[in-house]
Structure 1
Amino acid sequence: MSHQLPPLRCTRCYTEFPVQSLVWHCPCGGVLDVADFGARLPGRSELATRPATLWRYAEALPVPELAEVSLGEGMTPVVPAVGLADARVKLEYLSPTLSFKDRGAVMLATLAKLLGVRRLIADSSGNAGTALSAYAARIGVPCEIYVPASTSPGKLGQMRAHGADVHLIEGNREDAARAAKVAAEAPDASYASHMFHPYFLHGTKTFAFELWEQGMPETVVLPVGHGTLLLGAYLGFQELLAQQLIPRLPVIIGVQSANCGPLAAAADAGSPSPAVITPVPTRAEGIAIAEPARGEAILAAVAATGGTILGVTDNQVHTARAELAGAGFYVEPTSAVCWAAIQAARTGTAPASPAWATAVPHLTGPLTLALSGAGLKSPN
């Protein structure tokens, strides 16, 4: 099918920008979404004839599949969670670069290929950088990734193996983002930001489409930092509901590290905006985001499903990671936050707080959780 690349629209002032402009934020300060392009999902009989990749949902994606870009991403398996009869695990860490970020990175790389972009700039805590590095290598475009100096060596090695120029920035995740934005001002550069460019979310929404085919859960539990998986999943569930393919939105429970949990703090306070926090280092580096770019949208999304956002401690994450490994799932600490929250709810050790009071009934019933990144990325 032919594709017309849909424009971008500011969520604040509603100004539209052609995607060819390479604009990644509105002058008014608002973040951008993709303007409606009539995304549709084919029927199950048609899907049954298609390859088991995210490109099976071509009619719902903003870019066409380019065989020279794709690594066969998507359609990760869903398996039972050992020891919990009513819990299932979606193994996102079996994606080509070992994290769910491949879903969005292939959208940005395909767009870059179509637009003839000459250089890609991004910032990351690790997984987005490894994914973009791999797909930049696929399209033969130089790639620069700005990361905190504390980023796991496994992730740094993966980026460099794909040929990325990796810049280690002293400070936290926000410092790396600021450095990348400055570099992206160069005239030959494109800021391939997983949190700012909305085409990325149209890749991660395929997580929701796959769950529709694999068995729609009552509750979905997801790690959340900048929220690219959570917001993508919410977008996908909305599109499914709009087409009357599901009867209701599943409840979404987001999980953060308590050491860096602006969204969890906001959920506890009943605030529509992320809390202002002083982040503390955490083992869950992939979600150590003190200033999420789409924080208000994340909080609104979980509230719309009847869900909330929780914080778990590093000790809980350490224990959860070991339990998952003992059940056959070797994941990085960021992935273990979801299991930590589920175990806290089911063992009666959840804190007494408004957010946990909302979450516990959902965490103790049928659910699916995402394991977002592989343990080899952060082996220690």
Structure 2
Amino acid sequence: MSPYKFYDSVSGEEYTPDLRQWKPKAGLFTMKSYPVEFPAERIIKRQATMWRYEEALPITKEESSISLGEGMTPLIMLDHEKPNFLVKMDYLMPTGSFKDRGAAILIAKAKEMGAPSVIADSSGNAGTSIAAYCARTNIECHVYTPSSTSEKKLAQIKAHGAQLHLIPGTREETTNAAKEAVEKEGVFYASHVYNPYFYEGTKTFAFEIWEQLNFAAPDTLILPVGNGTLLLGAYIGFNDLKRAGVIQKIPKIIGVQSEYCAPIETAFREDTSVSSVENKGTKAEGIAIGYPARGNQIIEAVKNTNGTIITAPENQIDRAKKNLERKGFYVEPTTAATYAAYKNYEENIANTETVVMSLCGTGLKK
């Protein structure tokens, strides 16, 4: 039996992860804390992947890695005019986005539990990652995605052997279709939103930054937020580092939403619970989530770091993308939206602060 446990975010009831249960009775599954360590002298001698932090990951000694080499992406200056502004190049992951961090752990756990088949839903990048790691482990994969998803992302999902289910309508309607299939067929729901193991992978984003900054935390993080898989992962990761006593303070988190789909920013600004909003259509499709299931958890995390949520002006996304391209970074519109929002907000950030922004996905998919 797995030593790792989930608990209900509302009732606190404890659960042992299994193949069929994807949601508890009252709230959402959350990972129960477990002991973590960061033995730097051993870490630095290991292979340069995210699996080097084995003492802080929910993997057993018997469990074989399904790695495609994900992790330890470069952390570099965006340009020499702002030496304290750094970008984490997660678009250099095996399938071209940061989602590989979460998919690697999630599908490793699915394999460990003996899942013969999984269902996932995605606007593109998560589906690609889940499909790739299922291919790596010979697990049958079904990916539900909006019919409006870019052809290049769909082609990549199919290339990894996954069965595509194109759903007309919104991202939320795609999720609902996947949930219905999960309930009907009783298979493992490889959800990057509902399954805490996914966040146990994305938290390695924080571990790598800590190591790359010579075992220190930055002052501020600039991160896109739709369903919050990177933002919550980063928050969990830096909390793990703090809990282990290797950093003293968690970085301030600045989350970015599209102005055309901003349920979390609206709730944060109005100090209310997150409610559903209409997706008015945005180039930043990766964060166009009208009702993020973990929206209130995201707000709590941001507030706990004294951070904030800001929006990206739609009419500045293309210009931001071109600016990044002129600096040598070919990224997708969601990353460009993050940069556009930062440029509007940067006067609020001191030049002395060490700031890290994620470059989440490659432009080759669009």
- Which TM bucket (shorter chain)? over 0.9
1:80-91 mapped onto 2 (5 Å cutoff): 80-82=77-79, 83-91=81-89
Superposition pairs of residues 210-225 of structure 1, within 5 angstroms: 210-215=208-213, 216-225=217-226
Q: 2: distance between equivalents of 1:291 and 1:106?
A: 26
Q: Please list the CA deviations of residues 270-305 of structure 1 after superposition, one character each: whole Å capped at 9, or x if unmatched.
A: 33x224422211100011001101000000000110
2:364 and 2:314 map into 1 onto residues whose CA distance is 19
Which shifted more, 43-52 or 192-201? 43-52
Q: Over aligned residue pairs, what C-alpha RMSD do you find? A: 1.7
Whichever residue aligns with residue 249 of structure 2, its letter is R
Residue of structure 2 aligned with 1:75, choices 72, 79, 82: 72
Shift of 1:64: 3.9
Alignment partner, residue 351 of structure 1: none
CA separation in 2, counterparts of 1:371 and 1:132?
A: 20
For the structure 1 residues 52 and 268, does the alpha-carbon distance in structure 2 shift closer, same or farther, using more than 3 Å as the test? same
> Number of paired residues?
361
Match of 2:43 in 1: 47
Q: For residues 175 and 206 of structure 1, what CA distance do their matches in structure 2 show?
A: 30
Alignment-derived partner of residue 239 in structure 2: 238
* Cα pair 1:58 1:64 within 8 Å, conserved: no
Matched AA of 2:51? W
SS of residue in 2 equivalent to 1:185 = helix
Give TM-score scaled by structure 2 length: 0.95
Q: Distance in 2 between matches of 1:173 and 1:298?
A: 19
- Is 2:19–2:187's contact at 8 Å kept on the other side of the alignment? no
The amino acid of 1:373's aligned partner reads G
Deviations, residues 212-236 of structure 1 (Å, cap 9, x unaligned): 1011211010000000000010001
1:103 is displaced (CA, Å) by: 0.6
Does the CA contact (< 8 Å) of 1:285 and 1:334 recur in 2? yes
Deviation at 1:186, TM superposition (A): 3.4
Contact 1:119/1:188 (CA < 8 Å) preserved in 2? no
> Aligned in 2, Cα 1:258/1:93: closer, same or farther, shift over 3 Å?
same
Instruction: Quote the offset at 1:5 in angstroms.
Output: 4.1
Q: Where does residue 304 of structure 2 map in the other structure?
A: 304
What is the CA–CA distance in structure 1 between the aligned matches of 2:54 and 2:183, rounded to whole Å?
A: 32
Distance 2:94 2:60 in 1: 19
Q: Which amino acid aligns with 1:222?
A: L
For 2:238, the aligned partner's letter is: F
Specify the alignment match of 2:12 in structure 1: 14
Preserved CA contact (<8 Å) 1:312 1:341: yes
1:369 equivalent in structure 2: 357
193, 196, 200: which one pairs with 2:191? 193
Q: What SS does the aligned partner of 1:274 have? A: coil
Distance 1:338 1:374, change over 3 A: same
Deviation at 1:208, TM superposition (A): 0.5
Once the two structures are superposed, the pairs formed by residues 1-380 of structure 1 within 5 Å of their partners are 4-28=2-26, 30-38=27-35, 40-64=36-60, 69-82=66-79, 83-215=81-213, 216-271=217-272, 273-346=273-346, 360-361=348-349, 365-378=353-366
Q: Which runs of 5+ in 2 are unaligned?
A: none
Tell me, yes or no, if the aligned pair for 1:68 and 1:139 is still in contact at 8 Å: no
Q: In the aligned structure 2, how far is the partner of 1:4 from the partner of 1:150?
A: 39
For the residues of structure 1 that align with 2:210 and 2:228, how far apart are their CA atoms? 20
**Residue 179 of structure 1 aligns to which amino acid in structure 2?**
A
Q: CA deviation at 1:56?
A: 0.7
Q: Distance in 2 between matches of 1:187 and 1:57?
A: 35
CA 19–276 in structure 1, closer or farther in 2 if over 3 Å, else same: closer
User: Partners in 2 of 1:102 and 1:252 — Cα distance?
Assistant: 22
Aligned-residue offset at 1:263: 0.7
Amino acid corresponding to residue 230 of structure 1 in structure 2: L
CA contact (8 A) 2:265 2:310 kept: yes
1:219/1:362 contact within 8 Å kept: no
In the alignment, the residues of structure 1 paired with residue 276 and residue 19 of structure 2 have an alpha-carbon distance, to the nearest angstrom, of: 33
Report the CA distance between 1:366 and its aligned residue: 3.0
Structure 1 residues 223 and 282: alpha-carbon distance in aligned structure 2, compared to 1, 3 A threshold: same
* Alignment CA distance shift 1:167-1:302 (3 Å): same
Within 2, Cα distance between the matches of 1:123 and 1:130? 10
Query: What is the DSSP-based 3-state SS (H/G/I as helix, E as strand, rest coil) of the residue aligned with 1:121?
Result: strand
Contact 1:256 1:311 in 2 (8 A): yes
Q: In 1, distance between residues paired with 2:84 and 2:67?
A: 34
Q: In structure 1, the residue corresponding to 2:291 is in which secondary structure?
A: coil
Whole-Å separation in 2 of the counterparts to 1:185 and 1:270: 35
Taking the aligned partners of 2:34 and 2:251, their CA distance within structure 1 comes to 24
Percentage of identical aligned residues: 45
Following TM superposition, by how much is the alpha carbon of 1:187 offset from its aligned partner in structure 2, in angstroms? 4.1
Q: Gapped runs of 5+ residues in structure 1?
A: 349-359
User: Which digits, 9 at most, give the CA deviation of each residue in 1:72-100, with x for residues without a partner?
Assistant: 11111101012422200000001111100
Contact 2:19 2:188 in 1 (8 A): no
Query: What SS does the aligned partner of 1:260 have?
Result: coil
